[in-house]
Amino acid sequence: MRVAVGADHAGFNLRDAVISTIEAEGHQVIDLGAQCYDAEDDYPDRAAPVAEAVTNGKADRGVIVCGSGIGAAITANKYRGVRASVCHDSYSAAQGVEHDDMNVLCIGGRIIGEAIATQLVEAFLSAKMGEEERYHRRLNKINNIEATNFGSG
């Protein structure tokens, strides 16, 4: 799996742990920065390239780290086909994929530490969309809402 990663100044402390975890799980990292700490770095500058990589198919999934994860999720969800959510527990990180086909994990570098971040990324990457009809019915409803609000293509 190809996984795009982005981290702003407030998430920079978890960036290396996220990348190491993705690689340890056998996946390819698409590193979209930041490459060095910059106190003026803003979350949209790191979230947008990750969301764009998922939207255009260059990445299968994405992980974005900002201060709380919230700004990253808001930004990423502005892109067609992106289903991003903040998760700070491993159940949500897996369940978001299994039930909702979440494709971008957003985490808060000011909320959790390296050990939890590692668990979240592992849970997110190992999860697969469930086969139950209700999950696909719900996803189709979300896709219809997206098409209604943003056009069909």
CA distance 49 to 76: 9
| DSSP structure string for 12-26 | HHHHHHHHHHHHHTT
Any catalytic annotation for residue 136?
Answer: no
Catalytic residue among 9, 66, 87, 106: 66
Our CA angle for 138, 82, 89, nearest 5°, is: 80
Catalytic residue among 27, 87, 99, 136: 99
Four-CA torsion 59, 61, 66, 68, nearest 10 degrees: 160
Any catalytic annotation for residue 99?
Answer: yes
CA distance 8 to 93: 20
98: Cβ–Cβ under 8 A, 6 or more apart, which residues? Answer: 127, 128, 129, 130, 135
Which residues have a catalytic role annotated?
66, 99
